[in-house]
A and B are shown apart, each in its own frame.
Chain A
């Protein structure tokens, strides 16, 4: 009986860690695609992968219209990443709200609304850098739920 329990425990652990690895790898691929799209000046692709609520700096955007304006604004600004490299991809945790804004609502958002299999991907270019928040949506696709851009 004990052997069975141990076996079930390890099977569950294996499945869980496999899921985490799969979604982490898929998130990394999405981050690479976003970086590549930005280099090519294609901002429609990241917009199409975006979802709401969407975190942008200290803002929680809940209208797709504002998210659309965000990507269009980035395109208009001629923002780009030169030689982008994904420097890290790690699970989002509750304290990550501090990177966006040290506020009650950001804290609530990160503790209540970050779904399972959510990752933050750090992408660095020569002068600019970008942080993407990615998660597995209901269709089991990787979607963008947050962004921070700035100078290095």
Chain B
């Protein structure tokens, strides 16, 4: 029953967001789209992406998307970007998730400004041009060229104005803001340096990822509990509606429809956190595993590799026990 409901929501979403669909208008190298239906293919000029889709660029990939009117998103090489949606304060909010890599945003007169997320942060924006980078160790970097961005992590918020930046390690509050001189930031070096942090300390990095996964699981669980409660309530209201002979339409509008909306929003939200967990697992943990397995391939009994494996298994146990139940086959 849940799966059917999810399927309906998934089918409904692409048509519902036509007003803010994104179109590829420049492409270089390896750029792939993974649809929410599970289909994956190489992007072509003129392709659209919809809520629930991911864009994945290879080592030589680069893409530019036009969003709605004249807003632009530029996706650099080795980047994973997911276009998502979540309900906040009774409204559906578009969310751009920078799972790994570097993305530039230039927003201009959007109907609704999206929220930008990385595994470590949540950022609100106000008519702005900025860059977000997420490294393999989960650290995020925000640099604002124009406008303002509020970056929140672990309950602390900093507001960045023009030519300001901030670095946020995963599981920590934002660092000190710093001034940015045009052309001063070497993004590739920053990314290399922070990817190196994982190579230096893989055990603590994967532990941080497990903590983040647990946060996502807690959020997904709480929205699922709400969904179950609201779903029961909705069923009883539907039963009441069946018995009504008079004022059926009024009863539906005032009692049933709001609960249908709320139940749909609960699904959207627990799925959002489940899919955020999937992104972490699929892109970040995979990359870590590939690095560690190949590094220690000729020395598989190495204590550091064995400690990593034990943390890796812990992450996967939580994921398989607590996240998979919220996923559907097309997510894979």
A76 partner, pick from B57, B294, B327, beta carbons under 8 A? B294
Of the stretches A1-9, A19-27, A103-111, the one at the interface is: A103-111
Cross-chain contact A73 with B332 (CB below 8 angstroms): no
Interface residues of A in 19-75 (CB under 8 A from B): 52-53, 56-66, 68-70, 73-74
Cross-chain contact A63 with B283 (CB below 8 angstroms): yes
Cross-chain contact B40 with A52 (CB below 8 angstroms): yes
Interface residues of B in 266-288 (CB under 8 A from A): 282-283, 285-287
Q: Known contacts A53-B40, A77-B297, A149-B297; is A62 also within 8 Å of B34 by CB?
A: yes
A68 partner, pick from B58, B289, B320, beta carbons under 8 A? B58
Cross-chain contact B58 with A64 (CB below 8 angstroms): yes
Cross-chain contact B329 with A74 (CB below 8 angstroms): no
Whether, in the assembled complex, B5 has its beta carbon less than 8 Å from a beta carbon of chain A, the answer is no
Chain A residues with CB under 8 A of B158: none
Tell me whether chain A's interface is mostly helix, strand or loop, or mixed: mixed
State the CA gap A70–B316 with chains docked (Å).
20
Q: Known contacts A64-B59, A112-B332; is A104 also within 8 Å of B282 by CB?
A: no
A63 partner, pick from B80, B289, B293, B294, beta carbons under 8 A? B80
Cross-chain contact B316 with A58 (CB below 8 angstroms): yes
Cross-chain contact A73 with B294 (CB below 8 angstroms): yes
Chain A residues with CB under 8 A of B61: 65
Chain A residues with CB under 8 A of B58: 63-65, 68
Whether, in the assembled complex, B95 has its beta carbon less than 8 Å from a beta carbon of chain A, the answer is no
Nearest CB on B from A101, distance (A): 8
Cross-chain contact B289 with A57 (CB below 8 angstroms): yes
18 additional contacts (CB under 8 A) given A52-B40, A68-B58, A69-B290: A56-B293, A60-B282, A62-B32, A62-B34, A62-B282, A63-B283, A64-B32, A64-B58, A65-B59, A65-B61, A66-B286, A69-B287, A69-B294, A73-B290, A76-B294, A77-B295, A105-B332, A112-B38
| A contacts, CB < 8 Å to B | 52-53, 56-66, 68-70, 73-74, 76-79, 103-105, 108-109, 112-113, 149-151
